[in-house]
Amino acid sequence: MFPSKRPSDFVRRALVLTTLFGAGMALSSALEAQTVPTLAPASSGTVQAQPALAVQTPVIDTSDDSLFSSSTAESAATTTEASLVPPVNFANAMQYGGGQRRYGRPRYRGGNSNQDGSPKYTFFAGAGFGQTIGNTWHYLKPGYAFQLGGGRNFSRTLGLMAQFDYDHFGFTNQTLTNQTSIYNSPNVFGTGAISQLGGSSHVWSFTLDPTYSFYKGSGEGLGAYAVVGVGFYHKTANFTIPATGTYCDPFGFCYEYSANQTIDKYTSNAPGFNGGLGLTYKFSRFSNERFYLEARYVFVDNSHRAGFTVANESSITATSTNLYPANSNRTTYIPIKAGIRF
């Protein structure tokens, strides 16, 4: 017998490769036979639909802590939250600033603005007239008025204003008639000394006025506010008669002129209070100026001083001084003024 020889390495490698290739071809044929069904024509001549594959989703039993842990829940929550966040557009972020989109009126804050975007300071000027009421109506009649003021705004709704008001009134005909009788008393100017009596009264005041804006509108248009105030009020009554004077210029020419000459004057100082409502109108949302119209009730707590009236003028003496006690009566009136706030 011949001794057997072991195949060489080349032969062994060729046999292994041939075996593996054959096994792979057989496995591929078997899989194609299972996944690709053969379509057979039906007896009616129509193609029958193949049955759909039944795919079942595995059910996870959450009763077992080993299958569902807190880390798994946190991961799912994180995934859900991340899916709700809109993708970031880096091009828009570079061009427009990015960030969450905000709606509403933009607010710009500077050294003269509050946190809500309102200006810190307000100034106003207005003019109008004052209507006397109550007992004041019997001896004073309506006249002109003006006001100036300004102050600090703490927000869009609340502010504190410092204000100066001047309210000018005329005397009623009855007041001038009564005073003419008093001045023509024998112990004053004498009978018939006064024939044309005139005059006026006025009240000027300095007040502090908290202001509350309860309606601002939508940046333009109408607004409304309430105001109250307290301060110092100075009341003056001035009686005059017509007088003629002469003026001579440096070149020697002289002229006669007519003017009112004061013959009697009274003053009264007292604390006072005011309160009222106002309307504003803003022409444009891009400007700070507002037209305003307001009406207030003013009460001046004057202290009455005794004096002489037509009822007791027969007792007037040469040393009598207060010939118009009505100036120290309490004063009430309603000023109505319009102007500009800026």
- What is the tens place of the pLDDT at every residue in 94-137? 444 444 555 555 555 557 888 877 889 999 999 999 999 999 99
Whether residue 159 has pLDDT greater than 90: yes
Q: Which long-range contacts (CB under 8 A, 24 or more apart) does 6-14 make?
A: none
Token pair for residue 76?
A: 């799912």
163 within 8 A of 206, measured Cβ to Cβ: yes
Question: Is residue 95 included in any domain, yes or no?
Answer: no
Tell me the C-alpha distance between 237 and 263, whole Å.
Answer: 11
Question: Looking at the predicted structure, is the pLDDT value of residue 282 above 50?
Answer: yes
Domain-embedded: residue 37: no
* Helix residue spans in the chain (DSSP H): 9-35, 70-84, 90-96, 173-183
The Cα–Cα gap between 310 and 316 comes to: 10
Q: Which two tokens stand for residue 311?
A: 């009822």
Provide the β-strand partners of residue 227.
Answer: 211, 276
Q: Predicted confidence band at 70 (pLDDT cuts at 50, 70, 90)?
A: very low
- Whether residue 97 lies inside any domain: the answer is no
- Single pTM value for the model: 0.66
Residue 47, pLDDT score: 45
Q: Mean pLDDT across the stretch 272-282?
A: 96
Quick check: is 3 in a domain? no
Q: How far lies 304's CA from each of 95, 175, 217, 323, 330, in Å? A: 74, 17, 46, 13, 7
Give the number of residues written for the chain: 342
Structure tokens belonging to residue 299: 């009460």
Rounded mean pLDDT, 314-320: 92
Three-class secondary structure of residue 52 per DSSP: coil
């600033």: which residue's tokens? Answer: 97
Does residue 115 lie within any of the structural domains? Answer: no
The Cα angle at residue 217 between residues 214 and 221, in degrees rounded to 5: 125
User: What's the domain range around 296?
Assistant: 121-237+268-341
pLDDT score of 131 = 97
- Domain of 279: which CATH number? 2.40.160.20
Distance of CA 319 to the CA centre of its chain: 59
CA 180 to the chain's CA centroid: 53
Q: How far apart are CA 93 and CA 112, in angstroms?
A: 31
In a domain, 16, yes or no: no
In-domain check, residue 46: no
**Domains held by the chain: number:** 1
185 found inside a domain: yes
